[in-house]
Copies of this chain bind each other. A is one copy, B any other.
Amino acid sequence: MTVIEEMGVLAKKASRTLATAGEKKNEALRAIAKALKDNASSIIEANKIDLDNGKENGLSASLLDRLMLNESRIDGIAQGVLEVAALPDPIGTVISGSTRPNGLKITKVRVPIGVIGIIFEARPNVTADAAVLCLKSGNAVILRGGKEAIHSNKCIADIMRSAIESVGLDKNSVQLIEDTSRSSSVELMGLTEYLDVLIPRGGKGLIRAVVENAKVPVIETGAGNCHVYVDESADINMAANIIYNAKTSRPSVCNAIETILVHERIAKDALPEIKERLDEKNVEIRGCEKTAEILGESVIPADESDWETEFGDYILAVKVVSDFDEAVAHITKYSSGHSECIVTSDYKSARRFTEEIDAAAVYVNASTRFTDGGMFGLGAEIGISTQKLHARGPMGLNELTSMKFIIEGDGQIR
């Protein structure tokens, strides 16, 4: 048995005690929060090794910033753990139920999924964030982080395991794979006997690799080629505000937009005002011919690849469309099914857009940046699913659960 298979066995065992651990889980979470704060200095020390290695290996400033932990960030992580502890426990929730004509009482109840694998990249905070969401929802978790953060991750995982043990739960509820070679992640993707689901958290490359190679069920997260369609009847000022916010407030995240589509009857008035706002952040515009006619020379001609690309940067593709149907057809062709928005003052357009667009989140007159577990009121988020099975959109605690039917009778036979 390999190291990772052994972890699978231990995780399965831990998952069975977690399934009925009830309030003990919150005790463990509070112990984790306290232990993270109490041991902040050793986390910072371990993190310093990762940072030094990162500098030596030429990591970019933004990657080093994602990697960096200081007292206030550790406080933030601990605070997040306490917030999860304060959320209602999803396990045992009665989803629905009925009494059948023959007297059988059937109840559909939320239960944990079992063992969850998380593959992530250079952010050591994910070690704690992901583990506590799994723990709260009664699942054992096997974490496999990137090599850039391995010292930080090990330190945080050890602290969490001790804290979990201190309240009498199985420390193997949380395990970290210490081998950060490619082979360990490949092995995790094939751990069908022990892993109930694998959730990749990170960039496009990581997610694609997991989706393509995993034999265990995967929940695909995070790809976001999002659009704003400015309808003929749009309030231009509102459209400019929403586009400015959805493009520039944080261009690297998956709920930022990449392309806007503008109805030709409003394009001449709307595009200059939209561009004026975007110029504040020097957003590069890649436009269709009509866009260039209206906005002039600064527009870089867009080609097919621009409609397909998640820029993740201060770049926006712009297309003038002849009508509502062309906008819907464009979105249907290029959308990654994450978040799509219409700006309109027309009731029928709003209604048609929400019906016809197939995406996790469909907006009328609001920024796509709201697609987020916290913003949607889920209390916490383990990722944003862009697939249609099991979970779609922001995934909170409920999305980390399965369910079972409980059937109570007094001797019924069929």
Contact = CB atoms under 8 A, between A and B. Distances in A.
Interface of A: 16, 19-20, 98, 100, 104, 106, 111, 113-114, 196-197, 212, 215, 217, 219, 235, 238, 241-242, 244-246, 249, 332, 350, 354-356, 358-367, 369-371, 375-377, 387-390, 392-393, 402-414
Given A20-B356, A354-B406, A377-B98, A113 B414 contact: no
Contacts of A414: 245, 249, 367, 369-370, 375
Given A217-B217, A217-B389, A370-B412, A364 B196 contact: no
A380 to B, nearest CB: 16
Q: Is the interface of A mostly helix, strand, loop or mixed?
A: mixed
A222 to B, nearest CB: 16
Contacts of A411: 235, 238, 241-242, 365-366
B104 A370 contact: yes
Given A104-B366, A217-B389, A361-B404, 20 more contacts: A19-B358, A20-B355, A106-B376, A113-B389, A217-B217, A219-B389, A238-B411, A242-B411, A245-B414, A249-B413, A249-B414, A362-B404, A362-B407, A363-B408, A366-B411, A370-B407, A375-B414, A389-B389, A392-B404, A393-B404
A367 B409 CA distance: 9
Nearest to A412: B366
With most chain B CB atoms within 10 A of its CB, the pick from A244, A245, A409 is: A409
A86 B183 CA distance: 53
Contacts of A98: 377
Contacts of A219: 389
Given A366-B412, A413-B369, A388 B356 contact: no
B197 A100 contact: no
A273 to B, nearest CB: 14
With most chain B CB atoms within 10 A of its CB, the pick from A362, A376, A404, A407 is: A407
Contacts of A365: 408-412
B405 A360 contact: yes
A371 B356 CA distance: 36
Nearest to A356: B20
A371 B104 CA distance: 12
Contacts of A407: 361-364, 366, 370
A410 B242 CA distance: 10
A412 to B, nearest CB: 4
Contacts of A409: 363-366
A293 B223 CA distance: 63
Contacts of A404: 358-362, 392-393
Nearest to A341: B407
A2 B366 CA distance: 42
With most chain B CB atoms within 10 A of its CB, the pick from A219, A358, A359 is: A358
Contacts of A350: 408
